[in-house]
Amino acid sequence: MIVDAHVHTPKQVETVDEPDLSPPGYRPDKQYKRNVGWEEFQQAMAPVDKLILLGIAHGAETPNEEIHKYAQMWPDKIVPFCSVDPTDPGAMTELLLAVKDMGMRGIKLSPHYQNFDPMDPRACAIYATAERLGLPIIFHQATSPRRVASLRWAHPMALDEVATAFPELRILVAHFGHPWQPDTVALIRKHPHVYTDISAQFYRPWQFYNALVLCMEYAQLHKVFFGTDYPVTEPQETLDALRAVNEIVEGTRLPRIPEDEIEAIIHRDVLGLLGLAG
């Protein structure tokens, strides 16, 4: 089974011919279409068997209704994750509603984008509830060009105290924590229930290769998940790039990622490791 651990919802159901392209340089190799529709979404997701669908809440504004809508349209394929903003007074009510009434299986948070200290007591209340209910949390712990977002709280090491305080909480550090991949490797090595994914990484091929080599040298490749960050990247191009990761060192004596390890990342039991099997 192939699970895409990081997918965003379509912008609308209908297909829009006039593309809303990403800003130049956001993805350095090309601009991607942001206003994808449902049909385009389904076509792009054809190579994977399951996908985790997510978004990020801001205040009382959440993506949960949209995620629930699409999950109902494709229940055999979509694993829905809700999002709440820990700084919103109604966050806990929204979380319980999303889980009990909408069937959400996990949570997406971003201290960086939602502007909260990862050890804020309001956030810790969310973690405690997630740990008790068996809800994994995907954290956006990676840089971005957004000026109002704190890079201090984007750093993967900001989750070290969280994982220590909530040892049974399943945590997925999105985007390999770029550009701090060495710190992400240290984090997943230390904490048994902390993992990372390769979403939105391959288009920086030297960084991507080095992250996987470092993970291999610390014997942590078994904690790396397949993911895309769709629509930023699509499953097929991500699969192709991962299987071609060693091309950058052809003709050199630099280490190679073994093919069986590459295939293991692609076919990892993501849902089982996050406690969502069955």
Q: How many domains does the chain have?
A: 1
CATH number of the domain encompassing residue 42: 3.20.20.140
- 223-242 pLDDT tens trace: 999 999 999 999 999 999 99
Cα→Cα distances 157→133, 134, 190, 226, 276, Å: 25, 23, 11, 21, 25
Please give the residue range of the domain that contains residue 148: 3-273
Pairing label, strands 194-197, 171-173: parallel
Q: Starting at the edge strand that comes first in sequence, how are the strands of the sheet with 50-54 ordered?
A: 3-8, 50-54, 78-83, 106-109, 137-139, 171-173, 194-197, 224-225
Q: Residue 53 belongs to what H/E stretch?
A: strand 50-54
170: which 2 tokens? 């399943």
- 18-77 pLDDT tens trace: 999 999 988 999 999 999 999 999 999 999 999 999 999 999 999 999 999 999 999 999
Q: Is 54 contained in some domain?
A: yes
**How many angstroms separate the CA atoms of 109 and 82, rounded?**
9
Residue 8 phi, psi (nearest 5) = -100, 155
- 183-206 pLDDT tens trace: 999 999 999 999 999 999 999 999
Q: Is 278 contained in some domain?
A: no
Q: Residue 217 belongs to what H/E stretch?
A: helix 205-217
Check: pTM over 0.85? Answer yes or no. Answer: yes
**How many angstroms separate the CA atoms of 90 and 212, rounded?**
40
